[in-house]
Structure 1
Amino acid sequence: MSTSLSAPFKALNRLGLIPQIVIGILCGISVATLSPELAASVSLLGQVFISALKAVAPVLVFVLVMAAIAGHQRGQPTQIHSVLVLYLIGTLVAALVAVVASFALPTELTLNTAQASGNPPGGVVEILRNLLLSAVANPVSALMNANFIAILVWAVSLGLVLRSASAATKGMIEDLSQAVSTLVRWVIRLAPLGIFGLVAGTLAEAGIGALLEYAQLLSVIVGCMLFVALVTNPLIVFLATRQNPYPLVFSCLRGSAITAFFTRSSAANIPVNLELCKRLKLDEDTYSISIPLGATINMSGAAITISVMTLATAHTLGISVDFVTALLLCVVSALAACGVSGVAGGSLLLIPMAASLFGISADVAMQVVAIGFVISVVQDSTETALNSSTDVLFTAAASRRGELSD
């Protein structure tokens, strides 16, 4: 009897996270439609999921960014610098595209109005002042209060100092990074149940219109990613190589983006990218470093997600954002994207840092993170496809630029 009962659960577990999230969404819609009272009760699952995310996000950012910088090797080949410049330019341009799209197509989200209150800053000067004060906060206090600006500053600083540490120390830091990543994966495994509760509770309170709002948000995010993949990235490659970029662009999309879309992990797609670089006959000394490094710091898709969802939150709360402040968000989004973890949905956990620029509380920001998990079936897959394929694209562009200059 117990075997027959456990069989469906084993089959469900074999489906993987994406199908489970889809099932959670469908179940949430069904429960909200058939029994709004029950939907209100199961919304507790969503609240628990949000609380777990809030607890793990600060530690995640601190440890992973510190480990990535501490483990960075010195004496890189010359072309690595060109790749890094392209990574930075691509991420900044992607964030700018997201900001422009957010201004052109403002999106409102359904948030808990009891918690959804922002404290908008007076302008760019005040934002910079708050940013500076936040950056020098006590590290323990920053972790406790989810002050992501200070967390990032301390993580980068410690990472730079630890670059000269012993191999044993670096190994310990890497082990800690792996442990935190595993812990985050455990939390992410709760996503189907959490999303089930969130969808059921949201639809019970706000109706089907909330789901349509998520669809609009998703269309803006995916539209930006497609624009970056097919317009701005090719333009960057053309400016770097002075050659037709599209044969290379489509080769990278075919060879990298498709697998990355389904793995939803830039780290898991590293072997695929290395093999693609080999087929493209790129310099092995360059791509053997740039591809693993790109899986950590080249996150144009993450910058889009962070920018769009942050500005959607500000628009929902009635916070006026001028374009100069939005440009500052581009820089922060690009910087935050470099701290994205290798686990699915990592960019969503960095939204609170960008949202803090506009005085948006962590409680509200984590509601937005939860919305992100609802649309992550498509959003995170598309984001990973863009991130991972861009690693190969910019590595190839830098290599060919180097060949032309020789």
Structure 2
Amino acid sequence: MSIKKNILQGNLVLQIIIGLLFGILLAVLVPPLARSTMILGELFLTSLKSAAPVLVFVLVMSAIANHKKGQRTNMSSVIVLYLLGTFLAGLCAVIASFLFPVTLSLLQRESIELAPPTSILEVMKNLLLNFVDNPVKALINGNFIGILAWAIGLGIALRHASEQTKVMITDLSNGVTYIVKIIIRFAPLGIFGLVASTLAETGLEVLWDYLRLLGLLLGTMLFVALIINPLIVFWKIKRNPYPLVFTCLKESGVTAFFTRSSAANIPVNLELCKKLKLHEDTYSISIPLGATINMAGAAVTISVLTLAAVHTLGIKVDIFTALLLSLVSALCACGASGVAGGSLLLIPLACSLFDIPQDVAWSVVGVGMTIGVVQDSAETALNSSTDVLFTAAACMADEPK
């Protein structure tokens, strides 16, 4: 019982750090043995690869099917701010990735022959064909665009279903989420295998790639938190946004950094909204909704890691495709699951824009999990603190002058 408790309830951040350190040590001290640990990484990535399509499908379908309408709030302003902030975050990440390109050490890349898209028209064609794909085929092949299309369609249709049906869909969503959480709990073993085997093959210089990638991610998130979000809030409330920005970062962002879960931080955000004397009819809806669709940090992660794969494989990207990635990363981010590392599971969707093979895309997910101790914490802090920030901005703009 104690072993099960440690696996399911132990400090995941500490466990990942331990797995990372042991992986480095094994690669340095016993390289032949380190190479054999690749099976652990492969098992972990394959488990994620199997669960992610089902997770995205049921989460999106459940969220839409259970959406309540009819309440009188200024939610339209909040949703506009959520979507605008997420899109601009993705755009900033794309620009930063071109200004400071990062490449990754991927074991598979040497044996891969790519046929990259030649124009934005080809990208749009592939996008439309994936959009109308058979749902079973989409789930089997990991076609996230088709999965999202069917999930949205079924979610809209099931909004008129009976309450018992909606409860069943919610229970199914919770069940799949629980399975993914169990898989994530084995991240320390998976990361141990990935780091040990990768370092044994490529050498310690790969650590520099990880540090550069992490620096780009954190730098972009800080820019969004301290420059982009304040500009959006100033546009909305026409006053100095920084007192509100720093309050949200301090009282919501710090807590979210350590919980690494927007959902787990909902009670903190509700209490902060009450403290700020915001409209309860607004924040009682906007905060839970924001934990699902307000994902600026996730948009940054998806864009940066996808373009890291693009740069690694030498794919040329035109400006229109880059702008499309900004939009797709925002849409992907809105579908990011509530579990730790949820945004990483949607990187294959963004990679599909550039015809990047699934094996490479999931190797990039593995890299993301390796740096996820810091990356996911910072991402969640940005996501969750912005829920309160934009809710407050919408409420303040609605106040009489």
Deviation at 1:78, TM superposition (A): 3.7
Give me the whole-angstrom Cα distance separating, in 1, the residues matched to 2:177 and 2:10: 22
Give me the whole-angstrom Cα distance separating, in 1, the residues matched to 2:79 and 2:291: 12
Runs of 4+ off more than 3 Å: 6-15, 114-118
Deviation at 1:150, TM superposition (A): 0.4
Q: 1:354 aligns with which of 341, 350, 357?
A: 350
User: Which secondary structure does the structure 2 equivalent of 1:177 belong to?
Assistant: helix
> Hey, what does 2:19 align to over in structure 1?
24
> Hey, what does 1:3 align to over in structure 2?
none
Give me the whole-angstrom Cα distance separating, in 1, the residues matched to 2:396 and 2:35: 57
Q: Which amino acid aligns with 1:250?
A: F
Deviation at 1:15, TM superposition (A): 4.5
Task: Write out per-residue CA displacement over residues 125-172 of structure 1, whole angstroms, 9 at most, x where no aligned residue.
Answer: 110011001100000000000011100111111111111111101100
Q: 1:233 aligns with which of 220, 229, 234?
A: 229
Deviation at 1:77, TM superposition (A): 2.7
- Asked if structure 2 preserves the Cα contact closer than 8 Å seen for 1:237 and 1:245, the reply is yes
Q: 2:43 aligns with which of 48, 71, 75?
A: 48
Deviation at 1:12, TM superposition (A): 8.0
> Hey, what does 2:334 align to over in structure 1?
338
- Asked if structure 2 preserves the Cα contact closer than 8 Å seen for 1:117 and 1:361, the reply is no
> Hey, what does 1:260 align to over in structure 2?
256
Deviation at 1:10, TM superposition (A): 7.2
Deviation at 1:242, TM superposition (A): 0.2
Cα distance change of structure 1 residues 324 and 275 upon mapping to structure 2, 3 Å threshold:
same
Q: 2:241 aligns with which of 236, 245, 259?
A: 245
Deviation at 1:72, TM superposition (A): 1.0
Cα distance change of structure 1 residues 13 and 75 upon mapping to structure 2, 3 Å threshold:
closer
Give me the whole-angstrom Cα distance separating, in 2, the residues matched to 1:20 and 1:312: 26
Give me the whole-angstrom Cα distance separating, in 2, the residues matched to 1:142 and 1:99: 27
> Hey, what does 1:100 align to over in structure 2?
95
User: Which secondary structure does the structure 2 equivalent of 1:314 belong to?
Assistant: helix
Q: Which amino acid aligns with 1:216?
A: R
Give me the whole-angstrom Cα distance separating, in 2, the residues matched to 1:202 and 1:38: 12
Give me the whole-angstrom Cα distance separating, in 2, the residues matched to 1:117 and 1:266: 39
Deviation at 1:113, TM superposition (A): 2.3
For normalisation by structure 1, the TM-score amounts to 0.96
Q: Which amino acid aligns with 2:14?
A: P
> What does residue range 4-403 of structure 1 map to in structure 2 within 5 Å?
15-111=10-106, 112-114=108-110, 116-403=112-399
Give me the whole-angstrom Cα distance separating, in 2, the residues matched to 1:215 and 1:116: 25
User: Which secondary structure does the structure 2 equivalent of 1:44 belong to?
Assistant: helix
Give me the whole-angstrom Cα distance separating, in 1, the residues matched to 2:86 and 2:5: 40
User: Which secondary structure does the structure 1 equivalent of 2:338 belong to?
Assistant: coil
Cα distance change of structure 1 residues 152 and 8 upon mapping to structure 2, 3 Å threshold:
closer
Deviation at 1:13, TM superposition (A): 7.2
Give me the whole-angstrom Cα distance separating, in 1, the residues matched to 2:150 and 2:6: 44
User: Which secondary structure does the structure 1 equivalent of 2:244 belong to?
Assistant: helix
Q: Which moved more, 1:275-284 or 1:68-77?
A: 68-77
Q: Which moved more, 1:116-125 or 1:292-301?
A: 116-125
User: Which secondary structure does the structure 1 equivalent of 2:147 belong to?
Assistant: helix
Deviation at 1:401, TM superposition (A): 0.6
Give me the whole-angstrom Cα distance separating, in 2, the residues matched to 1:13 and 1:157: 34
Give me the whole-angstrom Cα distance separating, in 1, the residues matched to 2:219 and 2:229: 14
Give me the whole-angstrom Cα distance separating, in 1, the residues matched to 2:17 and 2:273: 34
- Asked if structure 2 preserves the Cα contact closer than 8 Å seen for 1:273 and 1:291, the reply is yes
Is there any run of 5+ residues in structure 1 with no aligned partner, and where?
1-5
Cα distance change of structure 1 residues 328 and 76 upon mapping to structure 2, 3 Å threshold:
farther
Q: Which amino acid aligns with 1:339?
A: G
Give me the whole-angstrom Cα distance separating, in 2, the residues matched to 1:13 and 1:84: 35
Deviation at 1:76, TM superposition (A): 3.5
Q: Which amino acid aligns with 2:57?
A: F
User: Which secondary structure does the structure 1 equivalent of 2:263 belong to?
Assistant: coil
For normalisation by structure 2, the TM-score amounts to 0.97
Task: Write out per-residue CA displacement over residues 209-234 of structure 1, whole angstroms, 9 at most, x where no aligned residue.
Answer: 11110110111011110000000000
User: Which secondary structure does the structure 2 equivalent of 1:163 belong to?
Assistant: helix
Q: Which moved more, 1:8-17 or 1:396-405?
A: 8-17
Deviation at 1:372, TM superposition (A): 0.3
Give me the whole-angstrom Cα distance separating, in 2, the residues matched to 1:12 and 1:60: 21
- Asked if structure 2 preserves the Cα contact closer than 8 Å seen for 1:222 and 1:379, the reply is yes
- Asked if structure 2 preserves the Cα contact closer than 8 Å seen for 1:117 and 1:360, the reply is no
Task: Write out per-residue CA displacement over residues 21-51 of structure 1, whole angstroms, 9 at most, x where no aligned residue.
Answer: 0000000000000000000011110111111
Give me the whole-angstrom Cα distance separating, in 1, the residues matched to 2:185 and 2:8: 10
- Asked if structure 2 preserves the Cα contact closer than 8 Å seen for 1:120 and 1:358, the reply is yes
Q: Which moved more, 1:71-80 or 1:92-101?
A: 71-80
Q: Which amino acid aligns with 1:334?
A: A
Q: Which amino acid aligns with 1:59?
A: V
Q: Which moved more, 1:41-50 or 1:381-390?
A: 41-50
Give me the whole-angstrom Cα distance separating, in 2, the residues matched to 1:213 and 1:39: 19
Give me the whole-angstrom Cα distance separating, in 2, the residues matched to 1:35 and 1:177: 43
CA RMSD of aligned residues (A): 1.5
Is there any run of 5+ residues in structure 2 with no aligned partner, and where?
none
Give me the whole-angstrom Cα distance separating, in 2, the residues matched to 1:29 and 1:287: 45
- Asked if structure 2 preserves the Cα contact closer than 8 Å seen for 1:352 and 1:366, the reply is yes
Task: Write out per-residue CA displacement over residues 203-261 of structure 1, whole angstroms, 9 at most, x where no aligned residue.
Answer: 00001111110110111011110000000000000000001000000110111000000
